[in-house]
Chains A and B, each alone.
Chain A
């Protein structure tokens, strides 16, 4: 059994900021402003085992990045505890930094004007590797991430896909036990996304690196992570294997109906069934399974249409996740 890499207990982060009161004078607004408080992260608890690949998802402003920043020692929690690799991130930030890697998809840690090799060597020194270790690790990463063709190019001349590979490689220079990735595939094309996901899977398998990832990209979640934690309004609302995500949250079934000849009219559907798409050669209906069972829905649809073929399937993961985000947060 793998040991826990991350243990989070009742972790909260509250931000307070001054708000201008239009009815108060400028003196009051300047010296005694009213403050507004936001619970960015509200009493969340979970743990992650060594070598796990965890997606930490939620809509914008859900508290994902704030949680990652508390786990990496960037932000101090308001209350609760975080333990990462046996260390308290808020007290042992530097010690912890030697054992973790971070990639923030929207920010670059590389030196823009210099060749990639300089950035990698620079990070090697930062992580206290010897010159020999740096040389060996850079060669290993160049090979693993297939960066040979652009290792000597200045960072600012790399494509976004190449840069993101370089960002991940730089964060792995010291062989971290955990890598935190905050939207690593943002802006990448499908080929670059796949390439990055494959690399992350590879380092997870070969180096047993724990992956803790936030992303809005369903592909990242499906192809990379075997576990998903869902957070919304700062509250942890679900923590389950990714493959079960659809089953647990599915509220709808889709049914594709192919006509014997063509559909000439589209009659009104029974309660709980709605048209998803109307075409004379195929219609798709969405069945709300909280209102009507699939068997009942099929019977009613067969009464309405003369069909040649019927295909019943689950809602895709993206829709499932959207449904989760749109629902009111209920603590798990």
Chain B
């Protein structure tokens, strides 16, 4: 109960903080428009060269899949890696260790709070804009769509936080986690469908995207595919499996990291 109250306080405080500084939201929105917009134009051109359909996927589906990826990336959950690294490098970790909170859950709430406002705003505005520009894919009219999207976003959030927390915790041993972060982040981007929608992947890569935790953290991009109505149970099951496995890895790693702590100074 206390953890929820604290989490709620962190999220509300940070959302208010983000609202004080709308310039950050404008920068985020501009970034999304540029990156996602350019890709959408390119895909529109490529799809139009192929009569509007590639590998049984329409342009509308590809566009929404890509938009979901970028909207979710605005959440910036991956920043938890660098936040942990900075805590370790600066010694700030000691301040949080002296408080009656779990360091990791505090950091996770913090990350959610920091990204929630831009995520919600960009998702809402982007959804309206994309619906007007390219239309809605058929799966969005199925009753199961909204509840499963909410569930997938929730599980994807947990899995992303855990995955990137593992990377961040490595800072207790190697201090500079940037090379590891780069590998993990690019893997998530590729398997999540940042460059190419997963539906267009060759079979072996699709299987990696489906069965790896990196791809599973971005299953939000799968929700617009026509197969979603028949595959959502399996995909949510995969997410739950990886959430549990990576959570165990995080907690074991954190317990080791606590013993390893040697903060600067003294």
Interface residues of A (CB under 8 A from B): 15, 17, 40, 61, 63-69, 72-76, 93-95, 97-98, 100, 102, 104, 106-107, 109, 111, 113-114, 118, 121-122, 125-128, 182
Contact = CB atoms under 8 A, between A and B. Distances in A.
Interface string B244-266: 00000000000000110111011
A-B pairs, 6 with minimum CB distance: A65-B266, A66-B266, A97-B100, A125-B9, A102-B98, A74-B97
Contacts of B204: none
Contact of A64 (B101, B102, B262, B266): B266
Q: How large is the interface on B (under 10, 10 to 19, 20 to 34, 35 or more residues)?
A: 20 to 34
Interface stretch (B88-96, B149-157, B224-232): B88-96
Given A15-B262, A118-B16, A125-B9, 13 more contacts: A64-B266, A68-B266, A69-B263, A74-B97, A75-B261, A75-B262, A94-B102, A109-B95, A113-B17, A114-B20, A125-B6, A126-B9, A126-B100
A51 B73 CA distance: 51
A114 B266 contact: no
Contact of A107 (B13, B95, B266): B95
A95 B98 CA distance: 11
26 contacts: A17-B262, A61-B266, A64-B266, A69-B263, A72-B97, A73-B97, A74-B94, A74-B261, A76-B259, A94-B100, A97-B98, A97-B100, A102-B98, A104-B95, A107-B92, A107-B94, A111-B13, A113-B17, A118-B16, A121-B9, A122-B10, A125-B6, A126-B101, A128-B2, A128-B100, A182-B265
A126 B6 contact: yes
B26 to A, nearest CB: 17
Interface of B: 2, 5-6, 9-10, 13, 16-17, 20-21, 90-92, 94-95, 97-102, 258-259, 261-263, 265-266
B13 A122 contact: yes
A65 B265 contact: yes
Contacts of B2: 128
Contacts of A106: 265
A125 B101 CA distance: 11
A217 B10 CA distance: 36
B95 A122 contact: no
Contacts of A126: 6, 9, 99-101
A69 B266 contact: yes
Contact of A102 (B16, B95, B101, B263): B95
Contacts of A102: 95, 98
B109 to A, nearest CB: 11
A64 B265 CA distance: 9
B261 to A, nearest CB: 6
Contacts of A95: 100
B17 to A, nearest CB: 5
Nearest to A100: B98
B172 to A, nearest CB: 13
Given A63-B266, A65-B265, A107-B91, A73 B98 contact: yes
Nearest to B259: A76
Nearest to B9: A125
A198 B16 CA distance: 35
B92 to A, nearest CB: 6
Contacts of B10: 122
Given A40-B266, A113-B21, A127 B100 contact: yes
A120 to B, nearest CB: 12
A326 B34 CA distance: 63
Given A64-B266, A114-B17, A128-B2, A104 B94 contact: yes
- Residue of A74, A76, A121 most packed against chain B (CB within 10 A): A74
A114 B17 CA distance: 7
Contacts of B263: 69, 74-75
A276 B233 CA distance: 86
A69 B95 CA distance: 10
Nearest to A113: B17
A75 B5 CA distance: 28
Contacts of B98: 72-74, 97, 100, 102
Contacts of B16: 114, 118
A97 B99 contact: yes
Contact of A113 (B6, B20, B95): B20
- Residue of B101, B258, B265 most packed against chain A (CB within 10 A): B265
Nearest to B94: A74
- Residue of B2, B10, B95, B102 most packed against chain A (CB within 10 A): B95
Contacts of A61: 266
A242 to B, nearest CB: 22
B259 A69 contact: no
A100 B99 CA distance: 9
A175 to B, nearest CB: 14
Contacts of B91: 107
